[in-house]
Structure 1
């Protein structure tokens, strides 16, 4: 069976920076929550809205692909498959694409003429879901390599929130944490002890499906994000994911100690909540956690791209030594939890 690996990674984040302080200052609410303290998010990147440079989801994804392929041994026409995992699928201002597949349009734009293509949608666990599917396809011998990509132009939901929030606790407050980004990764089956995706597992608890909804606004023409944070973010839900990982490790003859993770990357939604989940894991497994990596302070929650924005940023800063073992853990709407474990040596940013 082939051993899958991350062969290359690319990222694009817009140049424009908007601070949490700026966003909150625009709200009509007198006593707005201290969002920066609650989340740890100081800034986020926001798409260029100039008509000649408009950075929609497609453009963000395309630029990330270009960066990824510039570091890859594969040319676009050598890719076997392209998988797009964006939540947002804007191609142009206000144009949300349901069909054709975003993956098809992106593949055609880069000249991936022989590649199969399809879209996957799984909220903020989208890119990890795409990696899971491609990992299985490579191991099954269906394809030899492939590209997983996401472009998230999600800050229009923050623009809607700024216009519409009118009370101290509002379901659109989570929209104020988001930032725009594009990320792409190439996977192939040429892994070894220094470069390998060890496993990818996800679990969905469907009774949480309505706790976070991206949809047209109830009050205007904008796109909105409605989140019931009290119902979605609670210890019982976190524990479900922790227990599922414990079961997976036991079923496969593993333990937390035997995995020897060097770093953990959690979903980028709130630093205090991520630290709280880490404390729960420590208590459950009775062990210390690996070093946590994040980019919350400067990039915020970049939706389905978030784990790989973190990975790329720390690779770019040369803060991840070759041979490091990374654990990624999503916390996504749906409700989705899980774990991706990989050893990386080849990746550069």
Structure 2
């Protein structure tokens, strides 16, 4: 079977910046811990809410797709499939849409007339889930290329948290770490080993699904996220990913050391948790972890887009030389974990 590759990447970040200190200053009851130190989030981007220039999920996603196609060899009319993976689906300002699909609306807007279109929801693993599906479709020959896109206007959960948190510890504290963003990638068939997705695998442990729930608030008309971080961020949960990758590599007759990764990109959910995760990985794999790339301090947890916002940012800073081999680790409610291995050489921003 042939392999796929990342052919082009695009992103969109709203211009408005809100600092963690600003959010904390609005709380009725400040937390008993240093939220900025624990999360690593100093600031995040927040979508424009002015009526004349409102940035909803659709607007943000569309901007990311247009940015992606601006550096792709493919025009919109050449795209075989579009997969939208947003958690938030606001369109026409605050109105939420389940049908018609975001993917079909994006395809119609950009002129991708022949593209298959559908949406996928898998919490913060959304874009990696879309990548997983598209990789398999390209490898099987079902399609030649496609777009995976997500637009997240998710900071309304921060507004709900600010209005409702009244205790020193609250299940909505994680909501104060999120930021708005859009990301899009084009995948097509790899032509050599210099640009190639070597493998991508995902798994879900549904017994943990109750630990992070997005839903209408139980106190107001807002949208809320309830996350039990104390139970979510524990060793048993992190071992799900390391165990699955070690088992995969053993089935291929390889070890983690054989992979020779240059960098790792974790889901951007906490600056304090990532070094701990790396330490667990080093212990389990019996090999040092590569340096991790992160942007959490300036963009926060951008949910579904986080791995590709990191990749886009680091490419724009020219911190990823040609021939770099990357490992991406998802971490999402569900709980979803897994791993993606890729070498990139021609991907540019």
Q: Shorter-normalised TM-score: what interval?
A: over 0.9
Q: Counterpart in 2 of 1:22?
A: 22
- Are 2:136 and 1:136 equivalent residues in the alignment? yes
Corresponding residue SS for 1:209: helix
Query: What does the per-residue CA deviation read over 1:184-222, in whole Å, with 9 as the maximum and x for residues that have no partner?
Result: 000001331100000110110001111111111111111
Q: What pairs with 1:10-159 in structure 2 (closer than 5 Å)? A: 10-159=10-159
| Contact map agreement 2:90 2:153 (CA 8 A) in 1 | yes
Q: TM-score, normalised by structure 2?
A: 0.99
Supply the distance in 1 between the matched residues of 2:31 and 2:151 (Cα, whole angstroms). 34
Supply the distance in 1 between the matched residues of 2:111 and 2:137 (Cα, whole angstroms). 22
Supply the distance in 2 between the matched residues of 1:172 and 1:191 (Cα, whole angstroms). 46
Q: Counterpart in 1 of 2:299?
A: 299
Supply the distance in 2 between the matched residues of 1:207 and 1:31 (Cα, whole angstroms). 29
User: Which runs of 4 or more aligned residues in structure 1 lie more than 4 Å from their structure 2 counterparts after TM superposition?
Assistant: none
Corresponding residue SS for 1:103: helix
Supply the distance in 2 between the matched residues of 1:325 and 1:105 (Cα, whole angstroms). 34
Supply the distance in 2 between the matched residues of 1:62 and 1:311 (Cα, whole angstroms). 19
Q: Counterpart in 1 of 2:190?
A: 190
| Contact map agreement 2:24 2:30 (CA 8 A) in 1 | no
Q: Counterpart in 2 of 1:218?
A: 218
Query: What does the per-residue CA deviation read over 1:86-140, in whole Å, with 9 as the maximum and x for residues that have no partner?
Result: 0111103321111111100111110000000010110000000000000000011
> How big is the shift at 1:30?
4.2
Greater mean deviation of Cα atoms: 84-93 or 146-155: 84-93
Greater mean deviation of Cα atoms: 40-49 or 86-95: 86-95
Greater mean deviation of Cα atoms: 262-271 or 215-224: 215-224
> How big is the shift at 1:247?
0.2
Supply the distance in 2 between the matched residues of 1:238 and 1:2 (Cα, whole angstroms). 31
Q: Counterpart in 2 of 1:279?
A: 279
Supply the distance in 1 between the matched residues of 2:253 and 2:184 (Cα, whole angstroms). 32
Query: What does the per-residue CA deviation read over 1:7-29, in whole Å, with 9 as the maximum and x for residues that have no partner?
Result: 00000000100000000110000
Supply the distance in 1 between the matched residues of 2:289 and 2:108 (Cα, whole angstroms). 43
| Contact map agreement 2:31 2:169 (CA 8 A) in 1 | no
Corresponding residue SS for 1:210: helix
Supply the distance in 1 between the matched residues of 2:127 and 2:51 (Cα, whole angstroms). 29
Greater mean deviation of Cα atoms: 322-331 or 88-97: 88-97
Unaligned runs of 5+ in 2: none
Supply the distance in 1 between the matched residues of 2:4 and 2:92 (Cα, whole angstroms). 35
Q: What pairs with 1:119-268 in structure 2 (closer than 5 Å)? A: 119-268=119-268
Supply the distance in 2 between the matched residues of 1:2 and 1:259 (Cα, whole angstroms). 20
Supply the distance in 2 between the matched residues of 1:31 and 1:2 (Cα, whole angstroms). 51
Q: What do you get for the CA RMSD once the two structures are aligned?
A: 0.8
Q: Report how many aligned residue pairs link the two structures.
A: 349
Q: Counterpart in 1 of 2:326?
A: 326
| Contact map agreement 1:3 1:192 (CA 8 A) in 2 | no
Supply the distance in 2 between the matched residues of 1:105 and 1:32 (Cα, whole angstroms). 44
Supply the distance in 2 between the matched residues of 1:314 and 1:53 (Cα, whole angstroms). 29
Q: TM-score, normalised by structure 1?
A: 0.99
Supply the distance in 2 between the matched residues of 1:88 and 1:81 (Cα, whole angstroms). 21
Corresponding residue SS for 1:104: helix
| Contact map agreement 1:24 1:32 (CA 8 A) in 2 | no
| Contact map agreement 1:5 1:190 (CA 8 A) in 2 | yes
Corresponding residue SS for 2:334: coil
Supply the distance in 1 between the matched residues of 2:184 and 2:346 (Cα, whole angstroms). 15
Supply the distance in 2 between the matched residues of 1:187 and 1:265 (Cα, whole angstroms). 19
Supply the distance in 1 between the matched residues of 2:191 and 2:136 (Cα, whole angstroms). 14
